[in-house]
Amino acid sequence: MRMAVGAAAGEGAAQSPGPAAVSLGLSVAVVSSLVNGSTFVLQKKGIVRARGRGTSYLTDIVWWSGTIAMALGQIGNFLAYTAVPTVLVTPLGALGVPFGSILASYLLKEKLNILGKLGCLLSCAGSVVLIIHSPKSESVTTQAELEEKLTNPALCRKNCLENCSDCPSHSSSEIPSPSYQVLQK
């Protein structure tokens, strides 16, 4: 079984990003998270404004700014994922939730109770803890490394258990799965 790996011959081997690239990638991730957190608030504000004027929300500039912000935030996420490892970018996505709820309390005059404030604080703290304690990511640079990782016994056991979970003998339910029923015919 031959698999094509871009850096199989050692050409263009993936290297870990430098400190400047990590700083830039994390900055883009934080900004895009904040932009994504604001999108639904801006869209709802636009809908409320349009409803108050008796027009369609599609004519409201605030709704369109929320929609455009959503696209820009996702582009920023994409760029951040290409610049730094996923294990660093993903926790930062949670920062959009507290930002959106705080923004909603100001723009939409929604009340944020003590549990909401505590949730925002815990979300921020959790993101920081996950980033501080993130594992070093290993990049696969050769075909031999890829084959070694794919034939890891722990991975093989996990895949076997996931694939066998539909078997009636391993299932906790008394109803056989549809694939089992087809095989019985």
Beta-carbon contacts of 122 under 8 Å, excluding residues fewer than 6 positions away, are none
Using CB atoms within 10 A of its CB, is residue 76 exposed (0-12), middle (13-18) or buried (19+)? buried
Q: What's the confidence (pLDDT) of residue 147? A: 81
> Residue 156 and residue 167: Cα distance in Å, rounded?
17
Q: What is the mean pLDDT of residues 71-81?
A: 94
At 51, is the secondary structure helix, strand, or coil? helix
Q: What's the confidence (pLDDT) of residue 5? A: 42
Q: Residue 12: is its pLDDT beyond 90? A: no
pTM of the model: 0.64
> Residue 44 and residue 57: Cα distance in Å, rounded?
9
Beta-carbon contacts of 127 under 8 Å, excluding residues fewer than 6 positions away, are 91, 92, 94, 95
* Helical (H) or strand (E) element with 106: helix 96-107
Beta strands in 25-139 (DSSP E): none
Instruction: Name, of 126-130, 147-151, 170-174, the range with top average pLDDT.
Output: 126-130
CA triplet 40, 42, 44: central angle to 5 degrees?
65
At residue 62, what are phi and psi to the nearest 5 degrees?
A: -70, -40
Q: What is the mean pLDDT of residues 73-89?
A: 90
Q: What's the confidence (pLDDT) of residue 136? A: 74
Q: Residue 135: is its pLDDT beyond 90? A: no
Which of 14-18, 39-43, 113-117, 147-151 is predicted with the least confidence, judged by mean pLDDT?
14-18
- The total of other beta-carbon atoms located within 10 Å of residue 11's CB is 8
Beta-carbon contacts of 70 under 8 Å, excluding residues fewer than 6 positions away, are 35, 36, 39, 43
Q: Residues 127, 95: contact at Cβ < 8 Å?
A: yes
Which of 103, 99, 80, 98 has the alpha carbon at shortest distance from 90? 80
Q: Which amino acid is at 97?
A: V
Q: Residues 37, 96: contact at Cβ < 8 Å?
A: yes
